[in-house]
Amino acid sequence: MGRTALVVGATGIGGSYVARQLVASGWRVYGLARRPSGEPGNVTPVAADLLDMESLEVALGGVEPTHVFITTWMRQATEAENIRVNAAMVRNLLAALASKKTLRHVALVTGLKHYLGPFEAYAQSGTLPDTPLRETQPRLPEENFYYAQEDEVYAAAERDRFTWTIHRPHTIIGMAVGNAMNLGTTLAVYASICKETGRVFQFPGSEAQWNGLSDVTDARMLASQLLWAADTDAARNEAFNIVNGDVFRWSWLWARLAEWFGVQAMGFSGSIQPLETAMKNDHEVWREIAQRHGLVEADLDRLASPWHTDLDLGRPLEVMTDMAKSRKLGFTAYQATDESFFNLFSQLRAARLIP
Ligand SMILES: NC(=O)c1ccc[n+]([C@@H]2O[C@H](COP(=O)([O-])OP(=O)(O)OC[C@H]3O[C@@H](n4cnc5c(N)ncnc54)[C@H](OP(=O)(O)O)[C@@H]3O)[C@@H](O)[C@H]2O)c1
C-alpha cells in the first residue's frame, strides 16, 4: 500500500514501541527526536527539535509520510508553560508537514490527564471525575496542554484535509531510558535497591489507590491501537481510551511484583510514603549496584521517575478506564497486567538495566 510513517518522539516509552510495531508490520518508518536512535532496525532516524522550525523543515525535507504518530511532550514547571511549549511542538510539526501532499492521517497520543486534570490540579480540584473514564466525558474547565495539542491537530486537519485520531493511555508500562515518566522501570529500580539493601518494598501511594480498582497501558497495547486506527475507516476523527483491558488492585499486584524480585512487600500503612523521599539518597547506592552488577546505566535519574509514580499512586480516587468505544469498532486486543510488568522486568534484565 506504500504506507510511510513518521513517528514523532520515536525514542520515548510510547513512540519506540509504535516504531517497532510499524516496522514489524512492513511499514516504511521514520523516527523523529532531538537525539534519534537507529533502534529498532529499519527506522530511519530524523534529528530535529520540534521547537525549532528551521531544523524541522530541513530534517523533514525528504520525508513524505502518509501517517504521522505524535508521541512526544516536554515537561514544564506550570500548566501554562506546558500549554505554550507542547502546543507549539504540535503546531510546528504540522506546519512543517503542511505542504506534503502524501499526508492522510495524524494520530496524537495524550492521556488520562484529559479527564483528571493537569499535574498541578491532578485529580484534586472540584468534583472527582466519574470512573470508569469515558471518551464522552466533557473537557474540564481547567486549562490543559492535551486540549491545546488536540486543538492544534483539529485546526491543521481542517486546513490540510487529513484525518485524525486521539489516543488516551493510562500509565504506560514499557522500556525507555532517559524519558520523563516511567512507572514500571521506577518500580523495578526501587525493588532492585530494596533487594540489594534489605529494605522493605513499601507501597508509596494512597489508600484509594491501594484498595481501588486500577488499570495501566502496556506500551505494546498503545502501539497496537495506533496501528489499528491507522487502518480502520470507522475510527477516523475519533478519540479513544487505551488500556490493557483488565482491572486490578495494587493490593493484589504489589505482592506479585515483590515476589518477582524476592523482596518483602509492605502495603498501604496508614499514610502516603512518597517514593521521591524513599529514593532521594539512592543515587550513590544505585551507582554502586550498577558497578557491582555491570549494569549499563549508573545514573538513577535516567531510569527512575519517582515524582510521577508518586502522583499516579497517590491519587485520592481509583482510576480505571472504559474500553468499549474502540472494542465496538473492532479493536479487541487484550493484555494481562501482571504479565506487562513481568515482561518489562525481563526486558530490563536482558538489557542489563537492572541486576
Ligand atoms: N509515560 C507515561 O506513563 C504516559 C502515560 C499516559 C500518557 N502519556 C502521554 O504520552 C505522550 C507521550 O509521552 P511519553 O511518555 O511516551 O514520552 P517520553 O517517553 O518522555 O518520550 C518523549 C519523546 O519525544 C522526544 N522529544 C522530546 N522533546 C522533543 C523536541 N523538542 N523535539 C523533538 N523530539 C522531542 C524525545 O526524544 P529526545 O529527548 O531525544 O528529543 C522522546 O523520543 C505525552 O503526552 C504523555 O503525557 C504518557
Give pTM, 2 decimals.
Answer: 0.97
Do residues 48 and 87 share a domain?
A: yes
pLDDT reported for residue 128: 77
Residue 64 has pLDDT above 60, yes or no: yes
Do residues 91 and 192 share a domain?
A: no
Residue 282 has pLDDT above 60, yes or no: yes
Ligand 1 atom with the shortest distance to the CA of 308: 3
Q: Which one has a higher pLDDT value, 127 or 308?
A: 308
Do residues 211 and 286 share a domain?
A: yes
Asked if residue 10 belongs to a domain, the reply is yes
Q: Which of 169, 201, 231 is the last residue of a domain?
A: 169
Q: Domain residues for 291?
A: 180-215+247-319+337-348
- Cell representation of residue 319: 482510576
Ligand 1 in contact with 12 (CB < 6 A)?
yes
Do residues 161 and 13 share a domain?
A: yes
State CA 292 to chain mean position distance. Answer: 31
pLDDT in tens, 239-265: 999 999 999 999 999 999 999 999 999
Do residues 135 and 187 share a domain?
A: no
Do residues 135 and 70 share a domain?
A: yes
Task: Identify whether the C-beta of residue 166 lies closer than 8 Å to the C-beta of residue 153.
Answer: yes
Do residues 123 and 198 share a domain?
A: no
**Cα distances (Å, whole numbers) of residue 117 to 12, 83, 320:** 22, 13, 15
Do residues 112 and 198 share a domain?
A: no
User: How far is it, in rounded angstroms, from Cα 152 to Cα 100?
Assistant: 17
Ligand 1 in contact with 10 (CB < 6 A)?
yes
Task: Identify whether the C-beta of residue 313 lies closer than 8 Å to the C-beta of residue 206.
Answer: yes
Ligand 1 atom with the shortest distance to the CA of 14: 16
CATH number at residue 103: 3.40.50.720
Do residues 186 and 149 share a domain?
A: no
Per the prediction, the chain carries an average pLDDT of 96
Residue 123 has pLDDT above 60, yes or no: no
User: How far is it, in rounded angstroms, from Cα 64 to Cα 190?
Assistant: 43
Residue 21 has pLDDT above 60, yes or no: yes
Residue 125 has pLDDT above 70, yes or no: no
Do residues 108 and 203 share a domain?
A: no
Q: Catalogue the active-site residues.
A: 113, 146
> How many domains are contained in the chain?
2
User: What spacing in Å lies between the alpha carbon of 263 and ligand 1's midpoint?
Assistant: 31
Do residues 302 and 189 share a domain?
A: yes
User: What spacing in Å lies between the alpha carbon of 8 and ligand 1's midpoint?
Assistant: 9
Residue 289 has pLDDT above 90, yes or no: yes
Longest dimension (CA), the chain: 60
For 215-321, strand residue ranges (E) read 217-218, 238-242, 248-249, 265-266
Mean pLDDT over residues 328-339, rounded? Answer: 98
pLDDT band at 17 (very low <50, low <70, confident <90, very high): very high
User: What spacing in Å lies between the alpha carbon of 270 and ligand 1's midpoint?
Assistant: 34
Ligand 1 in contact with 144 (CB < 6 A)?
no
Do residues 83 and 161 share a domain?
A: yes
Task: Identify whether the C-beta of residue 80 lies closer than 8 Å to the C-beta of residue 143.
Answer: yes
Residue 1 has pLDDT above 60, yes or no: no
Mean pLDDT over residues 322-332, rounded? Answer: 98
% residues pLDDT > 90 (the chain): 93
User: How far is it, in rounded angstroms, from Cα 317 to Cα 252?
Assistant: 17
Asked if residue 133 belongs to a domain, the reply is yes
Task: Identify whether the C-beta of residue 184 lies closer than 8 Å to the C-beta of residue 344.
Answer: yes
